Amino acid sequence: MLTALKQKFRTWLFRPKIESGTVILTQRCIFILPTRQGLALAFVLLLMLLGNINYNLSLGYVLTFLLAMVAVMSMLHAFRNMVYLEIRAGRADAVFNGETAQFLLHFQNHSKLPRYRLCLRGDNDRMVSFGIPARQESEIAFPLPTTRRGWLEMGALRLYTEFPLGLFHAWSYLHFDTRCLVYPKPLLAAPLPFGTSPDGIDERAIAGDDDFTGLRNYVVGDTLPRIAWKVFAREQGLQVKQFSTPAGKELWLNFSDAPDRNIEEKLARMTRWVLDAEAQGLRYGLRMPDSELPASNGAAHRDECLRRVALFNLPQRNDDPSYLWEEHSQGSKVDRKRGKP
């Protein structure tokens, strides 16, 4: 409850704007407050000043104002450590549920002075510390854990520094329109639903365990039961028996074919089917209750299938792009500028 109130108050007070391009940190968006150490130093300086006034200590005045000047210079250095940094969001590649999403941020330092001890912190208290050399660009990956499928927003981040003495805390808020697609976590093993070609004809053979198709040369790692020992006894070299399984020319991955009762378990099985079908080089199509993709293969087809599985039965944002499979078949690239696989 307290955390939610703090979040609402911070949003109302600082009004962080959602950015889509490059952000330049100016004096209008950098805030500075003393830390606990800074407040303690201010209290000590106040006591020293009262003692100097009471006892009229000339050297005491010099020491007091010297320390005060160091504190003021510390505040200026904390501000200089952040001002005029250019920040833009990079892409965030899709991950599976349970993995850690990496949101890339690019920091450009045009100054001739390096930037020290910068920190990025999110609402989940994840923190990344880094520095930026003079006149260079640094790419920083901010990690976020995934707990469910669908779109994962990067959310608001706080960039701050307490350089050089830790007396002042200078910070600014970053909120980019960046998100990462989270696929369902696939099952460890799920046999493909073979024999689901639309017409039941045009079958071809794929690697399997049913029918013997021939011999091939032995490769290190082949299992001993597959070795053709009779051929080896005839001094024809070490050969390995190959088998195949008949399958339709077009393998259809149908949501209704998943035997699981729970929707999330069905989607986990569908994810495993897509990965296995792509790994075996099959032409496969996808049938979901709300959409259908024609049979094809390749990385773009796999990503589109996984995207539709991940976003099944989830509310869509108004700015979600319409992914037409015809565009993929013509070789169009998927937009990854804002982490949309």
Phi-psi region of 313 (alpha: psi -120 to 50; beta: other; left: phi over 0): left
Nearest to 321 by CA among 175, 183, 179, 182: 179
Does the structure show a pLDDT above 90 at 306?
yes
**What's the rounded Cα separation, in Å, for the pair 173 and 14?**
8
Q: Which amino acid is at 33?
A: L
**What's the rounded Cα separation, in Å, for the pair 322 and 89?**
23
Based on the number of CB atoms within 10 Å of its own CB, is 134 exposed (0-12), middle (13-18) or buried (19 or more)? exposed
**What's the rounded Cα separation, in Å, for the pair 13 and 265?**
43
Does the structure show a pLDDT above 90 at 8?
no
pLDDT digits (tens, 9 = 90+) for 172-218: 999 999 999 999 999 998 888 865 444 433 444 455 455 566 777 87
Sign of the four-CA dihedral 293, 299, 304, 308:
positive
At residue 252 the predicted structure's pLDDT band, cuts being 50, 70 and 90, is: very high
At residue 49 the predicted structure's pLDDT band, cuts being 50, 70 and 90, is: very high
**What's the rounded Cα separation, in Å, for the pair 122 and 156?**
7
**What's the rounded Cα separation, in Å, for the pair 12 and 2?**
15
**What's the rounded Cα separation, in Å, for the pair 303 and 241?**
34
Mean pLDDT of 148-162: 94
Of all helices (H) and strands (E), which one includes residue 134? none
For residue 85, the model assigns a pLDDT of 96
Nearest to 96 by CA among 319, 307, 320, 321: 307
